[in-house]
Structure 1
Amino acid sequence: MRDLIIYVILAAIGYFIGSKFRHKKEKLAWTGKFQTVAIVLLVLTMGSRMGANDEVIENLGSIGVYSLVVTVVILVFSIIAVFLARKVLRIDRWGMLVSTDVDNDSVTQEENSNAEGGKIDKMTLVIIGSVILGLICGFAFVDKIFDSYETFNTIAGHAIQIGLCILLSLVGLDLGLDGTVIDNFRKVGLRVLIFPFAIAIGSIVGAFICGLILPLSVKEMLAVGAGFGWYSLAPGIILEAGLAQASAVAFMHNVMREILGIIFIPLVAKKVGYVETIALPGAAAMDVCLPIVEKSTSGNIAVYSFISGLVLSALVPICVPLILAA
């Protein structure tokens, strides 16, 4: 909770500063490149942390396969759920209410997207490369440089926290420089709250289907799916219920959901829609993945992302115990 408050305050400060320098927006274009560099360093650190984690490496066998299947199925159903919710709410792929008025920014964005054709987004390639390099470095070098994983994990944790503080300040700065976010959010209103619940439903439906085809019970798979990407909480709750294998799958699934979210956010933004990107990371949409969502989409979607991640995080300690108690 403390970290969340810090992130919100820093984003608010960034927004305030950006709003005061809106007339010098062109001169502050360099912040976009700085943000990209910061994202790369953040993803590298996260990848190294995962690559050095023995628990992750040890679970790359059958549990890793189960977790990958669960993650892919849940991501697909989450995206479908957000897509359907967006259509019902009459919100376009850019996160704007559908109207007869033509939004120039949206038109420009669509033209740019179409002009790129079938090319793979550069940000996607950069993120994939950063994740792979981080995993390799973590697996091959961390134990040679640090006395223990705990030491490295502590340092990496602080580095990630500092990186998130910097990135969320920059996200706030971008929103302030843009100057349209508040007006656009007012137009969408409470509709934005529908999306995290759509993601939750999509995740649960995907988990239910996995429970029918994988060697874990439907109840266990529903509990795994209800983790919504929060890998430090859901596995512990499941383990306390005496479900060791399901806990391991939950841990790997939630790790994979965050990593695959980081990798595929730019691709989903380009090929499916901006709003659908918030379905990928689940609870991590409000912190770790928020800068990547904002960088790959727009300031409007950053608001969607934060609210979605916040609601999903609140649902995890409610849904997982309820499912296990049923």
Structure 2
Amino acid sequence: MKANAGIIGFFVAGIVLGRLHAVPATADLDAISLGVLCTLIFFVGYGIGNDTTVLARFRSLSPGLALLPAVSILGSLAGSLAVAMLAGGHSPAEWLAVGSGMGYYSISSVLITGYRGTELGTIALLSNIVREMIALLGAPLLVRLFGTLAPIAAAGATAMDTTLPVISRTCGPRLVPVSIYCGMATDFSVPFLVTLFCSM
């Protein structure tokens, strides 16, 4: 719980500092974010590399786990169709395009904006940020309610990067290779699915 409070605290601090324009306008925020993310992933990788049993644990996992990315993608698309029926405002194909972002907001929102305009692109951006925040902050609850694979499926494309440390902590190091695999496979699907549904 303390770690989650820390994440929320940093998020709120970022909002406050952004509103105050505390960071110089000349700062390359994308480069800074990438640097912090790379550092974070380095330490996750170091932890995996330092564990001599990680490959043995990966081999012992059930082959059924190879289907986890497909389950995550299908669940996301099913949720998007449910939103389409409840919210309306956009066509089912457009809601499916939003759901196809899988948490990968840096590419999905840009693609959707290019195909369908700023409004839907903004919805996609917010949707993917909310998905990532749910995976970051809700991982312990997801584990309790649905099991150790739930945070990985919920994280989508972010399971291999930004949410990986939280997944490692809440689901256990044994599932880190699964999380990376699921994130990579889901990540790969994003441009194809977004383009497909935007073209309908």
Normalised to the residue count of structure 1, the TM-score between the two structures is 0.56
* Conserved? CA contact 1:278–1:308, under 8 Å: yes
Looking at structure 1, the residues matched to 116 and 197 of structure 2 have their Cα atoms a distance apart, in angstroms, of: 14
Q: How many residues of Structure 1 are paired with residues of Structure 2 in the alignment?
A: 199
Distance 2:95 2:15 in 1: 27
**Equivalent position SS for 1:232:** helix
Letter in 2 for 1:126: G
Letter in 1 for 2:11: V
Q: What is the aligned partner in structure 2 of residue 125 from structure 1?
A: 5
* Higher radius of gyration, 1 or 2: 1
**CA positional deviation for 1:259:** 2.6
Aligned-partner Cα distance in 1 for 2:197–2:121: 14
* Residue 208 of structure 1: aligned partner: 81
Q: How does 1:46-61 map to 2 (within 5 A)?
A: none
Aligned to 1:284: 158
Note if 1:138 corresponds to 2:18.
yes
Q: Which position in structure 2 is the counterpart of 1:14?
A: none
Task: Give 1:170's aligned residue.
Answer: 43
Give the aligned partner of residue 109 of structure 1.
none
Q: Note if 1:253 corresponds to 2:133.
A: no
1:228 is displaced (CA, Å) by 0.7
Distance 1:131 1:233 in 2: 22
Report deviation, 1:264: 1.7
Identity across the alignment (%):
28
Which letter maps to 2:67? Answer: I
User: 1:229 aligned to 2:103?
Assistant: yes
State the Cα RMSD in Å: 2.1
- Aligned residue identity for 1:279: A
Q: Which has the higher contact order (CA 8 A, sep 6+)?
A: 1
State which of 186, 189, 196 in structure 2 corresponds to 1:315.
Answer: 189
Deviations 1:91-142 (A, max 9, x none): xxxxxxxxxxxxxxxxxxxxxxxxxxxxxx3322222222223222222x2x
SS in 1 for 2:73: helix
Report the 3-state secondary structure (helix = DSSP H, G, I; strand = E; otherwise coil) of the residue aligned with 2:12: helix
Paired amino acid for 2:15: L
The answer to whether the 8 A contact 2:17-2:23 is kept is no
CA distance in 1 between partners of 2:141 and 2:14 (Å): 20
C-alpha deviations, 1:48-93, integer Å up to 9, x for none? xxxxxxxxxxxxxxxxxxxxxxxxxxxxxxxxxxxxxxxxxxxxxx
Unaligned runs of 5+ in 1: 1-120
The letter of the residue matching 2:142 is: V
How many angstroms apart in 1 are the aligned matches of 2:23 and 2:35?
A: 22
Q: TM-score, normalised by structure 2?
A: 0.88
Q: Is 1:159 matched with 2:39?
A: no
Q: Which amino acid aligns with 2:177?
A: V
Q: Residues 2-30 of structure 1: CA distance to partner in whole angstroms, max 9, x if unpaired?
A: xxxxxxxxxxxxxxxxxxxxxxxxxxxxx
CA deviation after TM superposition for structure 1 residue 186, in Å: 0.8
